[in-house]
Structure 1
Amino acid sequence: MPKLVDPDARRRDVVDALFRVVVRDGLQRASLRSVADEAGLNIGSLRHYFASQQELMNFAMQSMLDRLEARLNRRLEHIGDLAGHHRANRLRLAADFLAELLPLDEQRRAEVTVFHDFTAAARTNPAFRRLSHRTAQATRRLTRRVLERLDATETLRPGRDLDLEAERLAALLDGLGLTAVLHPDLVSSRNCAEVLRAHLDELCGLD
């Protein structure tokens, strides 16, 4: 009797294999064959699910975004209404929430590494550009959302330009993530968390 295969589970396994290849060897070496080898599949089996590297990469990036969104939603449910927390606790919760976008552990380091490789490839590959742009937009919506919640609880300094501050915060997260992935000897996980918290403290007048 043939073994039944769960297509969704198989795709998740392939995505995980892709992440391992990209983190270890870079996106340029993440061919269908190398990903198939990493996943323990033959190339024909992999092509049954993904016809091309571009299709696999787009699916993997969307899967990563879905995972991140699920984690963020769980954190939001845990945080609840920021107004119900003391001011210092609001800042801690906001920093912990935004830290989901930083390479502070193995899972997040893999996500940030894949994200930056994908973003770099999107500069010259039109097939990746649309999803890369959507991801950048999502980061800015997220930072704006956090700042709006802090502003609504009178945690931010009065008179802040939220559009400008959302862009500044998104740039900080992108810069910390990229440098921590490329030069972990210069920017550690602890450095990332400390810089993010210092920036939020400054926004809220605690500098």
Structure 2
Amino acid sequence: MIDATIRQMSFSTDRSLLLLAVDWRVDVRPGQFAMLKVGDWPVVPRPFSICAQDREADTTSFLIRRKGLLWEQLLRLQPGATVQIKGPLGNGFPELPAPLLVGGGCGVAPLLFVAASRPVAGFYAGVASDTERAFLAPLLPAGTVVTVNPQLVTDAFLAGCSAGPVFACGPSPMLRVLANRYRGGPVWVSLEERMACGEGLCKGCPVRRRDGSVALVCSDGPVFPEGEVSWTWQV
């Protein structure tokens, strides 16, 4: 892991989300992620999708939800402090033009990077609260359809989408719905799993493929064609 200096920290008003920009310039494909930690705790780094890059400022940004030890550590930091990063990791989304994007929760993060890299045919984002919607609004492209819990982003997408390839990231129930109900084109899903190394060494993030083989979300994914994934998920 390498040290990276924090350049900016922006919190939602309820402090449930953090947009963290660090001084780290690397070549990244939308959909890739990095392992992030602060000092000695947590001992195991945590995976976060890369949500933006500013090449003029040489910064890379992550969208982080309030949860766990890493969040508590980040609250103690200010711009100018350092975090430890390993990456970029994983395979990223394919280079397809004008995809439809469907994100739930922090699954919006890698899709923000997709939308910044190419024109998209539509963006559907599901968030937990009106506060989160207001926080994310400046980051989302014009015309984004935003749903707030308990409304389901999959309902809005299936009711209003056009045909075309779909890139999706979010909780597994959301991805299962898309896999089972969307028939307008191919779907690629970015899976969210706990992991410790990010490189396939610890074998801690397995997912079963439909052919019976086992893939690792960190090194074989996190992006998979939905037709490869066994949605029972048990290994």
Q: TM-score, structure 1 length as denominator?
A: 0.29
Q: Identify the structure with the greater helix proportion.
A: 1
Q: TM-score, structure 2 length as denominator?
A: 0.26
